[in-house]
């Protein structure tokens, strides 16, 4: 038999890298970065006037576009309001309007008196609107008819959401019925279960306050999911489309714009039309 030759593995001992080489590479990278920073700064300085003109021009274009969009919105708002002369006008607010100076909230476009306000009270099962208490008291002191609404989260327990609203809102004589705001579709449940949850919230709130709640939603959501099965409820519908200029007969309230200016409120605010006059609005308030 031939003897097998066993070769021993030889461990190659690598010499450690020299510190000088590492330092040189770092220095090289630093030099390259510095070069490009200086180059960009130099180019920016050289073209400073042109860049200033360009960005100014772009900003002006954006501003002009925003102003044009606002002008179109204002024109539509005037048309809608003129077609509903005599109907009761109101707004709805939340913490997004910041701290409202309620004593200044009186008219829309210095012509149309604001009779009522819907105020967001709660969100989902665990969040109270940060400005609710302040807005709820301010509206009362400003002698506006007030109502509270709950923003419904489809993927959270409906009875827990109802409990939070009931805990937060105390209705008095002259207040509007409670409102359920539903805008989103569920992610983890069927439409059937969504409707079941909505009904549970509505029944719990009605049982507590002794008054049937109002449902707020968008027009498409209303047509697709709620119109038939919740026909025994009154609806507050949002539709901002330019082509719609009149409230539908089966709508109790119509939120026709989200871009109105109102004294005492910074930024834009939603405006609503009640399908009746002030006396008829007072008729649906809590007794």
List 68, 82, 183, 277, catalytic entry: 183
Is 60 a known active-site residue? no
Q: Give exposure, 191-217, as e/b (b: 16+ Cβ within 10 Å).
A: eeebeebbeebbebbbeebebbbbbbb
C-alpha dihedral, 168 to 88 to 284 to 234, nearest 10°: -80
Q: Assign 39 to helix, strand or coil.
A: helix
List 92, 129, 175, 219, catalytic entry: 92
Please answer whether residues 249 and 227 qualify as being in contact, where contact means their C-beta atoms are separated by less than 8 angstroms: no
Is 249 a known active-site residue? no
Please answer whether residues 147 and 175 qualify as being in contact, where contact means their C-beta atoms are separated by less than 8 angstroms: yes
Which of 268, 263, 271 is closest to 247 using CA atoms?
A: 271
Query: How many angstroms separate the first and last alpha carbons of the chain?
Result: 113
Q: How far apart are CA 174 and CA 143, in angstroms?
A: 11
* Residues recognised as catalytic: 92, 183
């Amino acid at each position: 038999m031939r003897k097998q030759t066993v070769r021993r593995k030889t461990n190659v001992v690598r010499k450690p890298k020299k510190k000088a080489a590492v330092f040189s590479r770092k220095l090289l990278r630093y030099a390259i970065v510095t070069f490009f920073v200086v180059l960009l700064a130099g180019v920016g300085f050289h073209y400073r006037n042109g860049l200033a003109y360009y960005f100014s021009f772009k900003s002006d274009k954006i501003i002009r576009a925003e102003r044009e969009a606002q002008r179109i919105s204002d024109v539509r708002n005037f048309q809608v309001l003129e077609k509903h002369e005599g109907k009761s006008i109101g707004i709805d607010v939340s913490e997004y309007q910041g701290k409202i100076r309620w004593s200044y909230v009186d008219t829309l476009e210095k012509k149309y008196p604001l009779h009522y306000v819907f105020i967001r009270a709660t969100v989902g099962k665990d969040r109270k609107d940060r400005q609710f208490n302040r807005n709820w008291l301010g509206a009362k002191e400003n002698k506006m008819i007030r109502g509270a609404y709950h923003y419904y989260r489809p993927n959270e327990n409906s009875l827990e959401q109802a409990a939070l609203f009931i805990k937060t809102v105390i209705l008095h004589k002259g207040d509007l019925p409670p409102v359920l705001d539903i805008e989103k579709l569920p992610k983890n449940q069927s439409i059937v279960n969504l409707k079941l949850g909505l009904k549970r919230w509505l029944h719990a709130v009605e049982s507590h306050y002794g008054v049937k709640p109002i449902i707020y939603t968008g027009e498409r959501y209303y047509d697709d999911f709620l119109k038939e099965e919740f026909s025994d409820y009154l609806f507050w519908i949002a539709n901002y489309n330019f082509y719609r200029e009149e409230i539908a007969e089966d709508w109790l309230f119509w939120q026709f714009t989200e871009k109105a200016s109102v004294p005492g409120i910074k930024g834009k605010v939603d405006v609503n039309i009640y399908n009746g006059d002030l006396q008829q609005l007072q008729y649906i308030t809590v007794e």
